[in-house]
Amino acid sequence: MADQPLKIEDLQGTKNGVRILKLNGPLVLANLFEFQSRIRADHSTGLILDFTNVPLMDSAGVGALVGAYVNRDKGQRSLGLVGVNQRIRNVLEITRVQGFFKMFASIAEAESAVA
């Protein structure tokens, strides 16, 4: 499963200034470079990462996600996560970074919060 590619669909949110990156596949060392590039290139005021189809994340993925948080926080721009499964929540908890992230049950809920 970790050797699968990570596909990223870039969508315009329904709220002004919000972008949604729909991730499909594991967020692991072997495939996180496009993820990092997309995060760095995004200048929207609110960014939502849809993890609904992300089965797992390794420590490199955690690092990339923390990097996304830092990138967004420095620019005073919002970041929200949607559809984070229990396995990934456990990884974020074990690495003690879960507090950095706002997690939402739906894209609509996340859009309202990050807009």
Ordered domains of the chain (ranges, CATH): 7-114 (3.30.750.24)
**Residue 1: is it exposed, middle or buried by C-beta count within 10 angstroms (0-12/13-18/19+)?**
exposed
DSSP string, 29-89: GGG-HHHHHHHHH---SEEEEEEEE---B-HHHHHHHHHHHHHHHHTT-EEEEES--HHHH
What confidence tens digit (pLDDT) does each residue in 36-85 have? 999 999 999 999 999 999 999 999 999 999 999 998 988 889 999 999 99
pTM value? 0.92
